Structure 1
Amino acid sequence: MSTHPLIGWAVVHPWPAAGIAAATLAVLGAALWVTVRTARAIAWPPGPVLVAGTGALVCTGFGADTSWRFARDGLGMTDTTERAVLFAAGEIALFACAVMARANKTATSTDDAAGTTGVPGILVWAITGALVVPCYATSGIVGGTIRAFFGPVCAALLWHLAMGLEIRVARPEALSTGLPAVVGRELRERLLSRFGLANRDRTAEQITRDRAVDRAVHLAAVLELHPDGALSGYRRRRLAAAVARSGAGTNGEQRHRLLQQLAARRTSGQLATVPLASPWAGTPVPDEAYPRTPLGVTGAQLRTMDPLAAVRLVRAAHPEDSPAEVAALCTGYGVPVSETQVRIALRAGNQVAAAPAAPRPVLASEPEPVLGAGLRLDVESTALVHPEVQSRVPVLAAAGTRTRQVHARVPADDQTEPQHTAVPDAAHPVPAVPEYAVPHNEDIPESDRDVPDPDPLIEQARTEYGTAVPSYRALKTRYGIGQARAQRIRDALGGTT
């Protein structure tokens, strides 16, 4: 038995053959791995789209067979090359229009609408209608119907599903804006409204009750117009059945609805005489629910923003308004905020109420204090110390002790004859010294007590100073006397206060 030359060579050279086989398996494994990775990296459309696309290709091939036969028999394309190039013009045009329609639908789709196919979507159905003609021309009525349905018609439908199903899967709530879709939705809504099914949040039982209410209102209105008619008994029985079916006897809401509709129907004739205000009599145009802001931002835009950001925008438009006024403006624009939130947004802080001024205490009048027998205190206060008794020499607290001075006077009826003082010289008048400036015995130095009159220091000072008038400080330092004695000596020397 003869063997293949490769097998014989492998038997003769086992090691080279094993190396070649291992290298071939490695290359095939690497190619398979790269193919799998590439296939996984491709963003494949959903499974329904792939199935619809596969069916569309098969139906397009079925229609292409019809076009191949029609090109030879109906169009006279006997040359095989010519027919191979031109027979599938309709199928290629159908596929191209389907792709373009898919691109238009994707470009015009939004969150609320699925987009429109545009002119390519219309051309898909126009080309489908044109491809139906070869089907009947090739196979007659019966065979042509089969060829037309499973050929161009199914191909157009499956291409439509394959190109548009992905958008519907991604956004099931998206609505198509094409003319057939719009007409279909409108007819569906009108049909549901005609049968009383427009309100879809009702149960079947509630729909039955509502219909019974409408029927009872109609029968009651007819019986009111024809109480003794030939069909009055029949209508009364139907009215009773409708009222029982409506549940008005046990359901307050149904009973209220029945009575309201019946009252509206019975009094409908009053609509002709209801007084109404003329719309031409200068009726003011109603304001917007939420006025526009001076910044050009509408109330709807403010309501979509964060309340604190909206507060800052309104404050920027009204910088002179207080936080309370800004809160009122924001509420008017549809952003209900409080004054506290406005202060937080503007970083204005909390308003501190001004504390009321405390009333100044009013001293009650009291009787004058009396010390001893017939003594009365005279307390006087002055704002400043008189210049003549001011001392420019600082006085230390430890320099001497002073006691509090209390001025007391004896009533006039108990006083003795006051001591007469010498009349001052007219050339050198002695100025009047205030009572508070006259020192008392406890504050007078010992050298100033029991000074003879005239004071011997006057002549001594006149001898030492001559015509110069010394200061109080110089006299007090020179002779070691007090303020009152230094003042008398200076006045005698011709000094003035």
Structure 2
Amino acid sequence: MIHTPRWVVDHPWPATAIACAAALLVGAAVWAAVRAIRAAQTPPAAALVAGFAAAACTAYSGDTSWRYAGNRLGMTDTTERAAMFAAAELALFACVLMARANLLGDKGAPGAPGLLVWGITCVQIIPAYSESGFWGGTVRAILGPVLAALLWHLALDVDLRHAKPEATSNGLAAMVGRELRERLLSRLGLAVRDRTAEQITRDRWTARAVDLAACLADRGDGWRTRRMRRQLSVAVGRAQVGAHPQQRRALLQLLSARLHSGALSTLDLPSPWEFREPIAPPRPATVVAYEQLREMQPLDAVLAVASAHPDLAPDELRAVLFDHGVIVSETQVGVALRASAATHPRALTSASAAGQTLFKVHARIDDETTPDAPEGDPDAPDTDASADTPDADADRALLPDARRVDQAHRTRYDRPASLRALQDGLRIGQKRAQRMRALLDEEAQP
């Protein structure tokens, strides 16, 4: 057996090393404990006081359970009573802790443990009344299990409204309570929130004025009618519709709906059982022209755009076709403009010159031939013998297009359109171009 003081005297250096190591270990433990205490979040004083009060109320409830176990449940053995009298109090505290865990966990609500807390509290009220009668039992019930449940809820932040003020309970009791509260507020005329007392008074008297005015509309002349008119005057004054335009507007709208309520039965409403095809909105002409040009062959598309814009140069025609998704080369444009086919597909003929722009085709579908072209080819130049015969009506009908070609030529080249420009723009022969030039010159003379 080693005698410690003698060993320390006989071995000073090992003893000193052991003492220093022990001092270091104790110091490290003390330092870690101090840091842990400082890092721990101290609960607020209100929570601590609520916890002590909840413990006291639980002890108060435990005293009631001790007496009830011996007097009513036949637990005469002290050991048996001590082991079993506080079962309800322990169950209550356990349910509070589980409700707190549910609230702080994934559920976000106390759940079933929260309901069990109040179930155990109701059961614990029975021993209080059994041991102390009505008045004494009331005191024991309130100061014991009821206050214990409430204070444990507040001390441990189990109440959903305290933990999450924006959350709403979906329990059966909570939903029934909210529904009853809303119905009561609606019955009392307080369904619209955030109103001042003055506004509530004005709204109530406005509704009263509407009722009186609607009743007067169906009455004759008599003492009751005169009395009702005086009441209507008072209601209008109390509603202050003369000083508040918004209140006056509300009064007139409500009264108008009340007086014309009989028209509801004569409204011609469609049956909800009838299936109706939705009406498609009209498609713009530019969209139709765009789709048709995309479906055409390149040469046909060039001819269609050229007929809609006869004053455009080949490069401008290519730009218009490119904007509409049709890619053509200079050679294709030249070939199409010089081509003279026997027949053409449905073409886009020109609409009015007003509103035409460089990059849009404003056109319409027209299957009819022009009055100046042969039936076989609407766009072919009229080089046959019939074109040389003067036709005043046909020339007058072609005069608006001639004016447009001449105006476009004047805008671009600052001079009147030549015979060649008229032939290319109107697709006519030389003789007819001369007649159109003569008509344009006559109009230009003062």
| TM-score bucket of the superposed structures, by smaller chain | 0.5 to 0.7
Q: Does 1:187 align with 2:180?
A: yes
Structure 2: distance between partners of 1:62 and 1:32: 39
SS at match of 1:225: coil
Aligned residue number for residue 168 of structure 2: 175
2:115, 2:158 → 1: CA distance?
A: 18
User: Does the CA contact (< 8 Å) of 2:110 and 2:160 recur in 1?
Assistant: no
d(CA) in 1 for partners of 2:207, 2:179: 25
TM-aligned CA deviation for residue 45 of structure 1: 4.1
Residue 117 of structure 1 is matched in structure 2 by 110
8 Å CA contact retained: 1:94, 1:124: yes
Query: Could you say what the CA RMSD is over the residues aligned between the two structures, in angstroms?
Result: 3.4
Provide the rounded CA distance (Å) in 1 between the counterparts of 2:33 and 2:94.
Answer: 29
Q: Deviations over 1:433-458 (max 9, x none)?
A: xxxxxxxxxxxxxxxxxxxxxxxxxx
- Is contact 1:59-1:150 (8 Å) kept? yes
**Aligned CA distance change for structure 1 residues 187 and 77 (closer, same or farther; 3 Å):** same
1:282-361 → structure 2 map (5 Å cutoff): 282-283=275-276
Q: Name 1:90's counterpart in structure 2.
A: 88
Find the partner of 1:215 among 208, 213, 216.
Answer: 208
Who is 1:106 aligned against? Answer: 104
Aligned residue among 162, 166, 176 for 2:155? 162
Q: Which residue of structure 2 aligns with residue 273 of structure 1?
A: 266
Name the CA distance, whole Å, in 1 between partners of 2:277 and 2:194.
39
**Distance in 2 between the 1:283 and 1:64 partners?**
75
Matched, 1:39 2:32: no
Paired position in structure 2 for 1:66: 64
Q: How many residues align?
A: 262
The whole-number CA distance in structure 2 between the counterparts of 1:77 and 1:42 is 44
- Determine which of 45, 51, 54 is the counterpart of 2:52: 54
SS at match of 1:61: helix
From the two aligned structures, give the one with the greater helix fraction: 2
Q: Secondary structure at the match of 2:217?
A: helix
Q: CA deviation at 1:129?
A: 1.8
Secondary structure at the counterpart of residue 193 of structure 2? coil
Q: 2:196 aligns with which of 203, 207, 217?
A: 203
**Is the partner of 1:175 in helix, strand or coil?**
coil
Q: Do the aligned residues in 2 keep the contact of 1:49 with 1:166 (CA within 8 Å)?
A: no
**2:137 aligned residue:** 144
Q: State how far apart, in whole Å, the 1-side matches of 2:33 and 2:220 are.
A: 88
Deviation at 1:62, TM superposition (A): 0.5
Equivalent residue number for residue 493 of structure 1: none
SS of 2:69's partner is helix
In structure 1, the gaps of 5 or more residues are 1-26, 110-114, 287-352, 354-358, 361-497
- In structure 1, give the amino acid aligned to 2:130: A
Please state how far the C-alpha of 1:278 moved relative to its aligned partner. Answer: 1.4
Contact kept? 2:99, 2:110, Cα under 8 Å: yes
CA positional deviation for 1:89: 0.6
Which residue of structure 2 aligns with residue 257 of structure 1? 250
Structure 1, residues 77-98: CA drift from partner, whole Å, max 9, x if none?
2322222211111100111111
Task: Judge conservation of contact 1:71–1:83 (CA < 8 Å) in 2.
Answer: yes
Query: What amino acid sits opposite 1:124 in the alignment?
Result: V
Number of the residue aligned with 1:237: 230
Shift of 1:36: 5.5
- Most deviating of 148-157 and 130-139: 130-139
- Compute the TM-score of the two structures, normalised by the length of structure 1: 0.47
**Is 1:117–1:178's contact at 8 Å kept on the other side of the alignment?**
no
Is the 8 Å Cα contact of residues 110 and 158 (structure 2) preserved in structure 1?
no
Code of the residue aligned with 2:265 in structure 1: it is A
TM-fit CA distance, 1:29: 11
Aligned equivalents of 1:167 and 1:142: distance in 2? 33
Matched-pair contact (CA < 8 Å) for 2:70–2:76: yes
Paired amino acid for 1:275: D
Unpaired runs of 5+ residues, structure 2, are: 1-24, 280-358, 360-411, 414-446
**In 1: Cα distance, 2:73 partner to 2:145 partner:** 19
Number of the residue aligned with 1:365 = none
Cα separation, 1, equivalents of 2:74 and 2:275 = 80
Residues of 2 paired with 1:198 and 1:143: CA distance? 42
